Structure 1
Amino acid sequence: MVSNAILLTLIAAAAVALAVDVVRWVRIAGVDPDRARRLRTAVAFRLLLAVCLALGHPRTYRFVAGWFGVPALPQLLQHLAALAVAHHVQGRVFGLVLPHERARAATRAWAVVMLLAMAGLITFYLLGPLQNHLPDMASDRARSPFVVEYQLIVVGYVGLTAASLLRFGTRYGRHAAPGPLRTALYLVGAGGGLVVLSLVDRFVHLIVIAGGGSLPWRETGIGAAQLYLLGPATLSLLLGLTMPRWHPRLSTWRRRRRWYRHLRPLWLAVYRVDNDIALLPPRPELVEALTMHRIGFRLHRRVIEIRDALVGPLRDYLDPEVLDQARRLATVRGLAEPARSAAAEAACIAAALRSRERREPARPGQPTVLTTEATDLDAEATWLAAISRAMRTSEVVTATLG
């Protein structure tokens, strides 16, 4: 069934995320205590989320129930974990949109409410489901003693936290600058809205069944309408909460991979005139296009090898007169900075490459004419990528080479 596939996918995703965070936590526990402490909180959140999702599957629930041998205890544990997960998500959202002190104060205030809600769940569980040996506390048992009171605490607390996520996500998302933060807030708001809808469905079941009626659809379990709401809600919330962490890394990776590929023509050109600049020979273009790992290292090596060629075997072939001529041609064609300088340097490098390939005599003693003000890898790669593109496409290069 589709709903079963949704639940299994969520369980698998939560388990993988938990395993990744545990490995990261163990690796840095003795190296970076502050970061390890933050990761410990993430590990606890992932564990509670995995418990919530796993206990929502009938087979897992029956296995745990048989293992404990205590009526409805797995569902109590699931709901306690759900309250803790809701509080953690809410605290993360507070941290995204509120000043630090306000976020801490709001999180502490809601922590008190959460503890009171947990105490209420345990109390009503002991008074009703445990005493009556109920196998679970789903809404279809709303006529049993204290099940409605128990479920109203779950609906009330999780519903209020989800409503706050909807409010904060939509309110602050409208005011955030376009970018990952705005997207993250809208995802959080969407997730909160879907959770609210699922709890409305649960509340309707409680009221109707407690009043002696019935509804044509199930409230919980495989095939229930609630799962089709909670599945997308969970994904939206996880994406929104983690986006501030992984989106910058993904953007950096994509940017560096693009630069790595854009530098290939320039790198190949200098490699052909002196193979000694590279540690490894060129790979086929298709293989390079499919490269996904160690992009930062590969880009760094490519930038260094290009610069080594410019200050090494090509240094005495770089002609200041060619650079000045190319700069004048770029100005005549209306190019503004930095495109003008990129085209001029591309023309100068192209002329040097041609002179070396033709074995023309070098001009020792000339000063290095190509410099860069880049202070890091990204700035250097950006500039060399612009030169590489100009070598392939600029009319200034063609005109300079005659």
Structure 2
Amino acid sequence: MASTVHFIALVTIAVAVVYRATTWREDRRTPAGRALSLTMVHLFIVYLLGWAPFYWLVYDVLGQVPSLPQVIQHIAWMAMSFHAHLFVIRVSAPAGHLRRRLRFGRALFATALLLLLIGYVIGPLRLGLPIVGPSGTRDPGVLVYDLIWETHNIVVLVDVLLVRWRSRTIERTFLRVGVRFMGAGCLIWLVMLIHKVAYQTIVSLGHTLPYEENGVHGIQFLFSAPGVCLLVIGMTIPSWGPRVARYRRRLLAYHQLTPLWEALRPVGTATPVVALRDRNSRLRHRVIGIRDALIGPLRNHLSDTTLHLAREQALRSGLTEGDAQAVAEAAVIAAAVAAHTSGKPATADAGRPPDLRRAQDFDSETAWLVKVSRAYRRSPIVRAWSDGLRPGHPR
């Protein structure tokens, strides 16, 4: 069970690393982006060397030096924690504390790395162990070696949680969500490391526990699996989260534009979209088609007087300025469509078309037309203008 979970986690991390590689050009320009990418790379190395077939392959390739692949794995684990620490510091720590936090993280990593190599010499290398087994060992040198890298990671994870807890300065939505996921993953791994320290300490004192801490039959995967899931989501969601949100927003916008789009069909601007298979293309087609109708067939039926009267009526009903403008534009369109389909002549103020709101970019333009479309479908003011009723003029 544990080996299967480990392999699934390894594949998941590999996919995440490949995905993250697609944003490397953007990431390398910022220290936080580089730190996040390096965190994922080292996480992959940790899990790759934790996979038994690969571990023993590396062990043979390196000349069967005692526990050397495991040392590399533990260094990668420390490096992963170090870069995750740098990332969280750079995106969360207040500007006044940034340099001090970065110096602390770098000094801690450098010190722990030196101590780890010393611990390796007096522990696994001295004993000639090919690997420190899942049930631990009673040798004090091996215990010292394990406590060095585990203590480093515990201190780093605690500081990550403290930095994140004390700082609420992240403005980007999905970056903030990603750091929260990473914080949850760090919390689970912190529990795992504390358990690991307790297990190895008990074993080194001569006691035997009824279960293995890691390996094929170990319980470590109960902590590592959910921790990895949260970490991978946290490290990748700043990249794919906005894309998914934009896709969902545009998908909703396409359907929310339907009332306005259907209302303009009698105008004759709706063209077949059989060849447009992409959702973005169809949304763009709708937005452009709506605007084309307003500057084309409906232009001479758009009344500036109607816009002002409808907006005043909407404001009197208690709507905000933005909502009132959307209702007013929807009323202008409704009145223009009714006039066009009934064959009425152009409005008296056709020479000065109303000032309809326009946005600078496609997403903002779409969002505004969605607001107008909702008003077109829901507002009683719009229905009144569509039926030919004006404020103060009963039928």
TM-score, with normalisation over the residues of structure 1?
A: 0.82
Q: Write the deviation string for residues 141-166 of structure 1: whole angstroms up to 9, x where unpaired.
A: 42246211110112211111111123
Matching residue's letter, 1:94: I
**2:75 corresponds to 1:90:** no
Higher RCO (C-alpha 8 Å, min separation 6) = 2
Matching residue's letter, 1:385: V
Matched residue, 1:369: 354
In 2, Cα distance between equivalents of 1:125 and 1:301 = 65
The gaps in structure 2 that reach 5 residues or longer are 388-395
Matched residue, 1:165: 160
In 2, Cα distance between equivalents of 1:386 and 1:122 = 63
Report the 3-state secondary structure (helix = DSSP H, G, I; strand = E; otherwise coil) of the residue aligned with 1:225.
Answer: coil
In 1, Cα distance between equivalents of 2:380 and 2:136 = 78
Residue 21 and residue 178 in structure 1: after superposition, are their counterparts in 2 closer, same or farther (change >3 A)?
A: closer
Matched residue, 2:51: 57
Alpha carbons 1:220, 1:226 under 8 Å: kept: yes
Matched residue, 1:210: 204
Matched residue, 2:252: 258
**2:328 corresponds to 1:344:** yes
Matched residue, 1:391: 376
In 2, Cα distance between equivalents of 1:370 and 1:168 = 50
Alpha carbons 2:150, 2:197 under 8 Å: kept: yes
Quote the offset at 1:272 in angstroms: 4.4
Question: Which range is displaced more, 313-322 or 250-259?
Answer: 250-259
Quote the offset at 1:90 in angstroms: 0.8
Residue 195 and residue 362 in structure 1: after superposition, are their counterparts in 2 closer, same or farther (change >3 A)?
A: same
**2:224 corresponds to 1:230:** yes
Once the two structures are superposed, the pairs formed by residues 167-316 of structure 1 within 5 Å of their partners are 167-172=162-167, 183-275=177-269, 278=271, 280=273, 291=279, 295=280, 299-316=283-300
Q: Write the deviation string for residues 332-382 of structure 1: whole angstroms up to 9, x where unpaired.
A: 644443222222221221222233334444459532214215333333222
Alpha carbons 2:5, 2:225 under 8 Å: kept: yes
Alpha carbons 1:169, 1:187 under 8 Å: kept: no
Question: Which range is displaced more, 106-115 or 44-53?
Answer: 106-115
Residue 238 and residue 105 in structure 1: after superposition, are their counterparts in 2 closer, same or farther (change >3 A)?
A: farther
Once the two structures are superposed, the pairs formed by residues 109-124 of structure 1 within 5 Å of their partners are 109-124=104-119
Matched residue, 1:356: 340
Quote the offset at 1:227 in angstroms: 1.7
Matching residue's letter, 1:50: F
Q: Write the deviation string for residues 203-262 of structure 1: whole angstroms up to 9, x where unpaired.
A: 122122112211122111234222211222233334445555554454444333322321
Quote the offset at 1:191 in angstroms: 2.5
Alpha carbons 1:55, 1:61 under 8 Å: kept: yes
Report the 3-state secondary structure (helix = DSSP H, G, I; strand = E; otherwise coil) of the residue aligned with 1:213.
Answer: coil
**2:311 corresponds to 1:317:** no
Aligned residue pairs total: 385
Residue 185 and residue 169 in structure 1: after superposition, are their counterparts in 2 closer, same or farther (change >3 A)?
A: farther
In 1, Cα distance between equivalents of 2:51 and 2:307 = 70
Report the 3-state secondary structure (helix = DSSP H, G, I; strand = E; otherwise coil) of the residue aligned with 2:363.
Answer: helix
The gaps in structure 1 that reach 5 residues or longer are none
Once the two structures are superposed, the pairs formed by residues 17-32 of structure 1 within 5 Å of their partners are 17-25=16-24, 28=25
Report the 3-state secondary structure (helix = DSSP H, G, I; strand = E; otherwise coil) of the residue aligned with 1:117.
Answer: helix
Alpha carbons 1:318, 1:349 under 8 Å: kept: yes
In 1, Cα distance between equivalents of 2:20 and 2:318 = 53
Q: Write the deviation string for residues 83-124 of structure 1: whole angstroms up to 9, x where unpaired.
A: 000000111111122234632442233222212222222233
Residue 33 and residue 395 in structure 1: after superposition, are their counterparts in 2 closer, same or farther (change >3 A)?
A: closer
Matched residue, 2:392: none
Q: Of residues 97, 100, 111 in structure 2, which corresponds to 1:102?
A: 97
Alpha carbons 1:345, 1:370 under 8 Å: kept: no
Matching residue's letter, 1:12: V
